[in-house]
Amino acid sequence: MLYELFSECVHIPYAVAGCCANYAVRRGGDVLYIFFEKSDGAADWKSNLDFPAKAYKRMDKTAWFAHRGFLAVWKEIEPTLAPHIADASIRKIVITGYSHGAAVAVLCHEYVWYNRPDLRETVEGYGFGCPRVFWGIPSPNLKRRFENFTVIRNIDDLVTHLPPRVFGYSHVGKLLKIGKKRKYCPIDAHKAENIAEELKAYEKQSTRVRNGSVH
């Protein structure tokens, strides 16, 4: 499943909202799939490096803080995706992003959790090669919003370690590690073809474990 989602995220045709928010939507029955593209050009990299924290005022009476550049991209795309997310005939939403797009997927996941309380048990989020988005110490309330979001890290992937923890950033949700240490350099570990290779190996191993062929 993860390999198929990642492959679709890499190859699906994307539309653009605003100046640099690349997204795609696909519907399968009552399931809505939302995809966010990796960094694509100078404008995306400007957002990647614009990492001072900014308040995201969505929690009741309090604010949590997010990476300013990624938040700006999400705010560009939010009005375009809002009608899709609000569609009452949708009974499940699966959100997927890669690299820069994975960070936007984190914010989209929170938006769905907040605005579609009926889908809180079924919304799923996947961030492949995801940078750190959240700044500060996450409260129990905030952590609950990301219980169904998974960050997929190809062990030494440089991007998943940025912005550095020393600047106060952390991942939210579950962290799934794939691959082997020092198999790739930190930059190569982030490349799509290498993430895909490790996803296939991970899913093959998981299938063997489920079938009882690994002792």
Tokens of 66: 């997010």
Give the pLDDT confidence score for residue 46 in this predicted structure: 47
Model confidence, pTM? 0.88
**Distance (Å, whole) CA 47 – CA 7:** 24
Range from 7-11, 123-127, 141-145 carrying the lowest mean pLDDT: 141-145
User: Domain map of the chain by residue range?
Assistant: 2-210
Residue scoring higher pLDDT (69 or 190): 190
What is the residue whose two structure tokens read 């940078």?
Answer: 131
- What percent of the chain has pLDDT above 90? 60
Rounded average pLDDT over 176-183: 94
CA atoms lying within 13 Å on the CB side of residue 81: 34
pLDDT at residue 38 is higher than 90: no
Residue scoring higher pLDDT (125 or 54): 125
Q: Quick one: 2-210 is in which CATH superfamily?
A: Alpha/Beta hydrolase fold, catalytic domain (3.40.50.1820)
**Distance (Å, whole) CA 178 – CA 127:** 13
Question: Which of 150, 203, 148, 160 lies closest to 184 in space, CA to CA?
Answer: 160
**Distance (Å, whole) CA 212 – CA 20:** 46
What is the DSSP secondary structure assignment for residue 162, as one 8-state letter? -
pLDDT at residue 125 is higher than 90: yes
**Distance (Å, whole) CA 201 – CA 179:** 8
